Structure 1
């Protein structure tokens, strides 16, 4: 136990352990007494007496390799989070506020849950869209990282669909970020691709049909720059293109953006099996239209590549 806190039932737990229990438990109850517990960490009271005993024990056993407990993380106050959201509207507080939000988001899942509940998710979307409309990149990376962290909070559920899945503005903002940072900030491109994959996962069919050719060119550009980007970013680009392909107009746009040639070149570099499976899945979609087959056959190595991969990678690739 490093950070003892007492629940309303009178039982003392380690803060991180009980917070995880409260987050993941379907029925919030005290693990010992089985009495109901509020899900919020605001109701967990620090047990200072036990903390002093723990610190004393650590000091007494320092010679045996017991480390002193580092500075403890304080629980996040909802009022403070609400103030941070308001501070984003104050120009001279903008940067410091985003930096504090980022620091809070990486600390614990409980703090991320609190941030989601107090509207930080929507605030980050507003920041990213505003950056695109004003052409400013200040703190854009922080906002994207915070939104990525908050998206993984279990309680976020279907709340993201009305925020980003029904409006092309957010996808346009992320496309602009990719185009702007393609050669300058690899980390930001990686983060943006993962966020874009999550966004496409909640996008409705109307939005998928309104994607511009520029969007597909940026996805193909990610495949082309595969040596500098993470494997996750490459997989995200492939997943996104596969998801858009059921619409015939999108298949034509993907082909027009030069995807067939880049997919063949990417496969010729012998990527890992999971990437090969995605490449063949996407090629199968693209070759279902005449333009896709034409571009495929124009590549000198296309047929040879298929011949070499058949029966040598996986059943999914074979199919």
Structure 2
């Protein structure tokens, strides 16, 4: 049944209790010289007609639909973004373009906040006017025009303005994204790529601004990814990875391209001169947590898909780098570093030799089997399995080291606790490999790395 506006508001008010906005204890009231109620607290409740019918919270940016019902903008736009096309209260059709700001209600809410300021209520700020389709088109046109002129600095400034607009609200971001922000920024980057990034901090910063804006409008479509994966773009991207000011945005964009799974893009990245070196450098000399994690994800996809990249990463000592990173890494970094290590060992050759030669490899893998995450457990078991199998002296030494640091007990516990699929299979195989050496090896705790010599 469709409810009239006034009745809908009254029904909403009866169905839910007044929402307490502030509780003040008796001690604070006594300090201010005020009286308190019997239960030692004072509640400031939001009037029913100031609350959004969707979120049931105080409206901060009230807007009115063509049906006459007032909602908070964020709640109504979220409702429409989830695929609904009707007014939540009346059921009549509603379009995003048809909602209008309700300035009268917003001013009433602000006046109410001011009147209750002494009781701890903060005034609702006046919201910014959301960007419209024409505004979005104008902002992106400025980026395209500067790129066509070859004006890197102006293009970077226009991209920064588009980024600022997009970050103001989810509505703005969606509006710019629908207007083609990702394609415009990717195309601009490709047009300006190949400029003297290495020798000009201004050019480097401007291109970094374009990438930072591009991050706001993920995910990228195929055309956008193709622009960034072009040889000139990758050349500039490699240079930007080497600068602490632009490395984070460059790494995040590279991660987006690499994780798309596009074979041509991955091959182009693998062939880009200096790209693998720059990624390893980001892990060795961290710029930010975001940059490190993005570099690890990009490295994982490259090692998994390209023999050329796998060999290059092995030559750069990626195994040593990720093993030493794992010692004190947080959950997210551990998962990504273990993924890179497992992928590198899958490629075999120099990576396996490097892992077997490093004193921390086995203790780190055994330590990371538990208390990180299921994903970390899967990669740690897989990597240890790759190192322990085989009849060579290196594999035999690895099995002995694994027993010494308690791998047998942890694998038993892992199977008891429960794991499935390939991890269960490999954990069982590892137990069989290690069983032959039991009794001749002294086990030690793996809670910490005391007593182990670090090669760094």
Give the TM-score range, shorter chain.
0.7 to 0.9
Give the distance between the partners of 1:68 and 1:312, measured in 2 at CA: 49
What CA RMSD, in Å, does the superposition of the two structures yield over aligned residues?
Answer: 2.5
2:297, 2:336 within 8 Å by CA — same for their partners in 1? yes
| Offset of residue 96 of structure 1 | 4.8
Which residue of the other structure, out of 171, 190, 208, is the alignment partner of 2:248? Answer: 190
CA distance 1:16–1:284, change in 2 (3 Å): closer
Give the distance between the partners of 1:167 and 1:195, measured in 2 at CA: 8
Between stretches 123-132 and 28-37, larger displacement belongs to 123-132
Give the distance between the partners of 1:95 and 1:279, measured in 2 at CA: 33
| 1:145 and 2:212 are equivalent in the alignment | yes
Give the distance between the partners of 1:279 and 1:63, measured in 2 at CA: 52
Q: Deviations over 1:126-160 (max 9, x none)?
A: 33334432232243333222211111xxxx5xx51
Count of equivalent residues: 299
Give the distance between the partners of 1:99 and 1:244, measured in 2 at CA: 30
Which residue of the other structure, out of 362, 365, 381, is the alignment partner of 1:318? Answer: 381
The equivalent residue for 1:199 is: 257
SS at match of 1:134: coil
2:190, 2:227 within 8 Å by CA — same for their partners in 1? no
By relative contact order (CA 8 Å, sep 6+), the higher-ranking structure is 1
The equivalent residue for 1:119 is: 180
| Offset of residue 54 of structure 1 | 1.8
The equivalent residue for 2:53 is: none
CA distance 1:300–1:13, change in 2 (3 Å): closer
Q: Deviations over 1:233-266 (max 9, x none)?
A: 2222222122122332321122123312322332
| Offset of residue 113 of structure 1 | 0.6
CA distance 1:236–1:97, change in 2 (3 Å): closer
TM-score, length-normalised on structure 2? 0.60
Q: Deviations over 1:157-189 (max 9, x none)?
A: xx512321576224443222112x14xx2xx32
The equivalent residue for 1:8 is: 66
Which residue of the other structure, out of 92, 97, 107, is the alignment partner of 1:52? Answer: 107
Give the distance between the partners of 1:103 and 1:305, measured in 2 at CA: 44
Give the distance between the partners of 2:235 and 2:174, measured in 1 at CA: 27
2:190, 2:228 within 8 Å by CA — same for their partners in 1? no
1:165, 1:203 within 8 Å by CA — same for their partners in 2? no
Give the distance between the partners of 2:184 and 2:99, measured in 1 at CA: 28
CA distance 1:264–1:108, change in 2 (3 Å): same
1:165, 1:200 within 8 Å by CA — same for their partners in 2? no
Between stretches 55-64 and 308-317, larger displacement belongs to 308-317
Alignment of 1:1-319 (within 5 A): 1-23=59-81, 25-38=82-95, 40=96, 42-88=97-143, 89-90=145-146, 94=155, 96-135=157-196, 136-151=203-218, 160-165=221-226, 168-169=229-230, 170-179=233-242, 181-182=243-244, 185=245, 188-210=246-268, 211-212=270-271, 213-226=273-286, 228-230=287-289, 232-246=290-304, 247-267=306-326, 269-287=327-345, 288-297=347-356, 299-301=357-359, 304-307=360-363, 309-310=365-366, 313-314=369-370, 315-316=377-378, 317-319=380-382
Give the distance between the partners of 1:209 and 1:255, measured in 2 at CA: 17
Higher helix share: 1
| Offset of residue 198 of structure 1 | 1.4
2:355, 2:361 within 8 Å by CA — same for their partners in 1? no
Q: Which has the larger radius of gyration?
A: 2
Q: Spell out structure 1 runs of 4+ moving beyond 4 A.
A: 90-96
1:161, 1:202 within 8 Å by CA — same for their partners in 2? no
CA distance 1:43–1:245, change in 2 (3 Å): same
SS at match of 2:63: strand
Give the distance between the partners of 2:87 and 2:65, measured in 1 at CA: 8
